[in-house]
Chains A and B, each alone.
Chain A
Amino acid sequence: MASSRESRFSLPPQILRLVLLTIAIVAVYLVARYFLTPPSFGQFGFYRGDVLQELASLEPVYAGKKACEECHSEQYQQVAQAEHKSVSCEACHGSGQAHAEDPDVKMAILGFSRCVRCHEENPSRPKWHKQINSRTHYTGEKCTECHLPHQPNEVP
């Protein structure tokens, strides 16, 4: 200490302690950060890279129409050539992943509500889309008596 007292730039001891304390705190932070940051953090950017796999691990509920085609290729072909070709199977039949995995799980039975969901007349719907007023359009009859859902232009 004698030498430092003689030098022109001696640090007061309380400042020295503060500096050492600061360095110690920063060092503890850096060590904690090194060990606690998940390894995948920063893999793609400022986030945990592992989360991509975690988010991708959710199981689908809708199987996609390719899965339907595997067993129901006949119906798939019918629809693909008719007016409803842009409509995927699960749009009307509902989610089908459970049925695709186990055919014993039955799909929902469809009815009138599925047809009018898209085809009920509404002034906000675009004019190119075919619409009916279900209160005046052949009330009491089933839609399928006149229209085949898979080939809507054909008459049964």
Chain B
Amino acid sequence: MKPPLTRRRVLGKLGAALAGLMTLPVARTVKAAVQKLRVAPGAAKGYDPTQHRWVMAIDVNRCIGCGLCAEACKKENRVPEGPNYFRTWIERYIITQPKPGSAVARGEVLVDSPNGGMNGFPEPPVKRESIQHSFFVPKLCNLCAHSPCAQVCPVGATFDAPDGAVLVDPKYCIGCGFCIQACPYGCRFFNPYTRTADKCSLCYHRITRGLRPACVEVCPTEARLFGDLKNPVADEALQKFYAENRVQALKPHLGTEPRVVYAGLDKEVS
């Protein structure tokens, strides 16, 4: 006959369960040791992703809208042709003069990006006299510290790499498009050839080789600066950028904390 359920027996069983839980860390260590033997080196040779923290700084006042960055990006990263597929692009903002007596400081805001600005910008769609203010804004993945795209990915295909790049694992991506909708900056697109989500990889193949991203390389006016916050030798140009400008990020109210920062933004830019 089974012994009746007594306090002593219940306490004994609880103790045994606790002892069982105590062995879990041991099991975990053993598993970690086993996994370590099977792990292939993850990062590129000679490149330790934990030793870098990449940032990009964009000076809007220096952008001349030549579109070389968008063109170079497509070429470098084999981005599909067509006006809907861009990892980086340039937007032209045109703010018109307010109507006389309308009691507003600024008129209409017109934003366009013909073919991502790759082929330059045609004459503005409004008369030159009616333009109050106009400028170009280069756009790309904002390298969020808290990236919404990585949060929504259901399969762990999009992630924040230790060096600050936000990347897509094309072998894991199932092309569900959640991340494309989640990105508040519109920086992602669906690649029709790979059938996966695609985005700026910060030219991961270049930065791991010690080269600058293609857009930064070809920018003729140094409107784009690229640097490493973990670099023990401080980047002079980047230091100067932070020291001399009022630096801000796009859509700061979203709490994404982008590592792509801008100088000279107007409030109309989003």
Q: Which of A52-111 contact B (CB under 8 A)?
A: 52-62, 64-65, 84, 86-88, 90-92, 95
Map CB proximity to A onto B144-175 as digits: 1 under 8 Å, 0 otherwise.
00000000000011111110000101111000
Q: Are B134 and A52 in contact (CB under 8 A)?
A: no
Nearest CB in chain A: distance from B169 CB, A: 4
Of the listed stretches B39-47, B184-192, B246-254, name the one at the interface; the rest are far from the partner chain: B39-47
Q: Are A124 and B217 in contact (CB under 8 A)?
A: no
Map CB proximity to A onto B51-87 as digits: 1 under 8 Å, 0 otherwise.
0000000000111111110001001111000000000
- Is A29 part of the contact surface with B, judged by Cβ < 8 Å? no
Q: Are B220 and A91 in contact (CB under 8 A)?
A: yes
Map CB proximity to B onto A108-120 as digits: 1 under 8 Å, 0 otherwise.
0000000001101
- Is B13 part of the contact surface with A, judged by Cβ < 8 Å? no
- Which residues of B lie under 8 Å from residue A11 when comparing CB positions? none
Of the listed stretches A14-22, A41-49, A140-148, name the one at the interface; the rest are far from the partner chain: A41-49
- Is B5 part of the contact surface with A, judged by Cβ < 8 Å? yes
- Is B107 part of the contact surface with A, judged by Cβ < 8 Å? no
- Is B141 part of the contact surface with A, judged by Cβ < 8 Å? no
- Which residues of B lie under 8 Å from residue A52 when comparing CB positions? 42-44, 49, 161, 167, 204, 208
Nearest CB in chain A: distance from B119 CB, A: 9
- Which residues of A lie under 8 Å from residue B217 when comparing CB positions? 62, 64-65, 88, 90-91
SS of B interface (majority): loop
- Which residues of A lie under 8 Å from residue B75 when comparing CB positions? 61-62, 95
Report Cα–Cα, A123/B97, bound state, in Å: 14
Q: Are A123 and B131 in contact (CB under 8 A)?
A: yes
> Looking at B63, B136, B161, which has the most chain A CB atoms within 10 Å of its CB?
B161
Q: Are B39 and A126 in contact (CB under 8 A)?
A: no
Report Cα–Cα, A84/B222, bound state, in Å: 11
- Is B179 part of the contact surface with A, judged by Cβ < 8 Å? no
Q: Are A49 and B42 in contact (CB under 8 A)?
A: yes
Q: Are B218 and A90 in contact (CB under 8 A)?
A: yes
Q: Are B2 and A4 in contact (CB under 8 A)?
A: yes
- Which residues of B lie under 8 Å from residue A87 when comparing CB positions? 220
- Which residues of A lie under 8 Å from residue B208 when comparing CB positions? 52, 56
Map CB proximity to B onto A1-19 as digits: 1 under 8 Å, 0 otherwise.
0011011110000000000
Interface size class of A (residues with CB under 8 A): 35 or more
- Is B261 part of the contact surface with A, judged by Cβ < 8 Å? no
Q: Are B42 and A8 in contact (CB under 8 A)?
A: no
- Is B211 part of the contact surface with A, judged by Cβ < 8 Å? yes
Residue in contact with B64 in the complex, picked from A8, A45, A50, A125, CB distance below 8 Å: A125
Report Cα–Cα, A40/B35, bound state, in Å: 8
- Which residues of A lie under 8 Å from residue B220 when comparing CB positions? 84, 86-88, 91-92, 118
- Is B267 part of the contact surface with A, judged by Cβ < 8 Å? no
Report Cα–Cα, A138/B101, bound state, in Å: 43
Q: Are A53 and B41 in contact (CB under 8 A)?
A: yes
Report Cα–Cα, A48/B66, bound state, in Å: 38
The 4 residue pairs across chains A and B that have the minimum distance between CB atoms:
A49-B42, A56-B44, A39-B38, A47-B159
B residues with a Cβ closer than 8 A to A are 1-2, 4-5, 35, 38-45, 47, 49-50, 61-68, 72, 75-78, 92-94, 120-121, 123-124, 128, 131, 134-136, 156-162, 167, 169-172, 201, 203-206, 208-209, 211-212, 214, 217-222
Q: Offer 9 A-B interface pairs, CB within 8 angstroms, sorted by A.
A: A3-B1, A39-B38, A47-B169, A49-B43, A58-B78, A62-B214, A64-B206, A86-B222, A88-B220
